[in-house]
Amino acid sequence: MKVVISAAGTGGHINPGIAIANKIKEKEPMSKIIFIGTKNGLETDLVPRAGYELKTIEAYGLGKKITLQNIKGIIKTINGIGQAKKILKEFNPDVVIGTGGYICGPVFLAARKLKIPTVLHESNAFPGLAVKTLSKKANLTLVGFKEAKERLPKAKKVIVTGTPTKIRRLKLSAEDKLKIKKELNLNPDLKTVLIFGGSQGAMAINKATLDFIIENPNLEFQIMWAPGPKQYEIIQEELNKKGADINKIKNVRVVPYIYNMEEALNICDLVVSRSGAMTITEIAKVAKPAIFIPLPNVSQNHQEYNAKVLVNVGAAQIILNDELNSKILSAKIKEMMKDKAKLLEMGEKANTVSIDNVEEKIYEAIKKI
């Protein structure tokens, strides 16, 4: 199979594309796969790191206001259609796959002109503008959540496949959990709250968490907190100002970034995080309850819709970003952590949203196209 995958911008768009590529290669080792992205996004790092060739074109998201910069972006994106058409003509793929984002626009328009079959994948519960528009003509649209299918009534064809993730639910014995907690420098006897804001960190979550741990020096549970590499030193300085050493806070473990996220998710009792599509997918996969603080001011407020996927099955609670402070965060965490049976019940409810054999389902759907 010869495949072009258009993916750009964030890991939420690029990583599913890489996972799909890896599955195709696993099934058909002789397949030829290239990616189309831009020179500005994470794809310039993630795609070559995964072992795939990246071709770049000009493509920009549409701003909400009419500005000179927005108009220039539109003109460059239109030019990107011609650039994409040239790449597709040279490579001559059997199918073009897009995993959301503005890059899909010019690539899919070029594919249509060349009569190449197209497949979309949407990770979010609320599909973005590009997917809503392109799904009307795409041969097939694959979605991560059933809620997304309901919001694409004009799509040509939609299948709920789930979103690919490397995270798995581990079957851990008491001894396994003890070992992992020791590796993470956690107390093996205490329940654990895992707090993170994504690879870039989340300032609002970090501020509330910092105040929370200062105001609550005698917690009956422990916190593992990843404020993000860019904000770690800021947090360290703020704690110093308050007379606290970042490495010596009782029952609190602060790290810039969690590299072994699969283990951390599997041994924790409660997650506090943003609600990107990948985070929702991972939390559902490992069967954990959550408190979500959706990122505000993003396209169609999709993070709040993502969070509601788990809220609606009784697996999570939401604190809106504008309402977040240490007292509200403290009250929510303490209320949930005092009832272990309830936490386990919520976790199993989260798992009902998870879909098995995601990559296999996506591969089979693409093969039919």
How many domains does the chain contain in total?
2
The reported pLDDT for the residue numbered 76 is: 58
The single-letter code of the amino acid at 171 is K
- Rounded to an integer, the average pLDDT of 253-259 is 93
- In a shared domain, residues 224 and 283: yes
- In a shared domain, residues 319 and 199: yes
- In a shared domain, residues 155 and 270: no
The reported pLDDT for the residue numbered 101 is: 75
- Rounded to an integer, the average pLDDT of 59-70 is 59
This prediction has a pTM of: 0.89
- In a shared domain, residues 49 and 122: yes
The reported pLDDT for the residue numbered 75 is: 57
pLDDT band for position 262 (cuts 50, 70, 90): very high
Rounded to the nearest angstrom, the gap between the alpha carbon of residue 148 and the centroid of all alpha carbons in its chain is 15
Q: Is 251 a residue whose pLDDT tops 80?
A: yes
Cβ contact 259:277 at 8 Å: no
At 264-302, the pLDDT tens digits run 999 999 999 999 999 999 999 999 999 999 998 776 788
- In a shared domain, residues 140 and 267: no
Beta bridge partners of 53: 34
Residue 168 lies in a domain: no
Cβ contact 167:354 at 8 Å: no
At 8-47, the pLDDT tens digits run 888 888 999 999 999 999 999 999 999 999 898 889 999 9
- Taking the C-alpha atoms of residue 362 and residue 352, their distance in angstroms, rounded to an integer, is 20
CATH of the domain at 145: 3.40.50.2000
Q: Which residue has the higher pLDDT, 313 or 61?
A: 313
Residue 365 lies in a domain: no
pLDDT band for position 71 (cuts 50, 70, 90): low
Q: Is 257 a residue whose pLDDT tops 70?
A: yes
At 140-184, the pLDDT tens digits run 999 999 999 999 999 999 999 999 998 999 999 999 999 999 999
- In a shared domain, residues 181 and 302: yes
Residue 229 lies in a domain: yes
Which residue carries 């599955």 as its tokens? 23
- In a shared domain, residues 339 and 243: yes
Q: What percent of the chain has pLDDT over 90?
A: 82
Residue 121 phi, psi dihedral angles, 5° rounding: -130, 125
- Rounded to an integer, the average pLDDT of 342-369 is 97
Q: Is 72 a residue whose pLDDT tops 80?
A: no
Cβ contact 280:218 at 8 Å: no
The reported pLDDT for the residue numbered 130 is: 81
Instruction: Encode the chain in three state secondary structure.
Output: CEEEEECCCCHHHHHHHHHHHHHHHHHCCCCEEEEEECCCCCHHHHHHHCCCEEEECCCCCCCCCCCHHHHHHHHHHHHHHHHHHHHHHHHCCCEEEECCCCCHHHHHHHHHHCCCCEEEEECCCCCCHHHHHHCCCCCEEEECCHHHHHCCCCCCCEEECCCCCCCCCCCCCHHHHHHHHHHCCCCCCCCEEEEECCCCCCHHHHHHHHHHHHHCCCCCCEEEEECCHHHHHHHHHHHHHCCCCCCCCCCEEECCCCCCHHHHHHHCCEEEECCCHHHHHHHHHHCCCEEECCCCCCHHHHHHHHHHHHHCCCCEEECCHHHCCHHHHHHHHHHHHCCHHHHHHHHHHHHCCCCCCHHHHHHHHHHHC
**What is the β-pairing status of strands 140-143 and 158-160?**
parallel
At 120-145, the pLDDT tens digits run 999 999 998 888 899 999 999 999 99
The reported pLDDT for the residue numbered 151 is: 95
Which structural domain range is residue 183 located in?
174-351
Neighbours of 107 (CB within 10 A): 32
Q: Is 193 a residue whose pLDDT tops 60?
A: yes
The reported pLDDT for the residue numbered 79 is: 77
- CA dihedral of residues 143, 146, 151, 154 (deg, nearest 10): 60
At 208-232, the pLDDT tens digits run 999 999 999 999 999 999 999 889 9
- In a shared domain, residues 9 and 52: yes
- In a shared domain, residues 186 and 284: yes
